[in-house]
Amino acid sequence: IGKKIKVVSAVADALELHNVNAFHKRAESVKGTYDFIVSRAVTHMDRFVPWVQEKISTVNRHEHANGILYLKGGDLTEELASFPNAEITPLTQFFTEDFFETKKVVFVPL
């Protein structure tokens, strides 16, 4: 939704993050390479990774390997079976509201 991208852009501007690009378009139509692809869950990980893996830079400049940060909910055991290096961070570590009870950020290094 376009208004969510506007919020992301506004937050990046307010934090003076000059290395953030926010797009409201299909993942496969994004041009360029990036250190991280950040997305909310739009499909299963095994479908999403092929859409973006060529867009992730091979030059690592951070503490964490370049890869995907993906907001997901529910039981991810089966979905992430093909991604043994995936790291799951429950959002309940940071937020106490009921909405976040089943939400996680999945990091898939590529």
The per-residue pLDDT string of the chain (110 residues; one tens digit each, 9 = 90 and over) reads 788 889 889 999 999 999 898 988 888 888 999 999 999 888 999 999 999 999 999 999 999 999 999 999 999 999 999 999 999 999 999 999 999 999 999 999 99
Does the global pTM surpass 0.95? no
DSSP E strand stretches across the chain: 36-40, 67-73, 87-90, 103-109
Distance separating alpha carbons of residues 56 and 59, to the nearest angstrom: 9
Predicted local distance difference test score (pLDDT) of residue 61: 93
Structure tokens at 52: 């973006």
Helix (H) / strand (E) containing 98? none
Distance separating alpha carbons of residues 74 and 18, to the nearest angstrom: 33
Strand order of the sheet with strand 87-90? 36-40, 67-73, 103-109, 87-90
DSSP state, 110? Answer: -
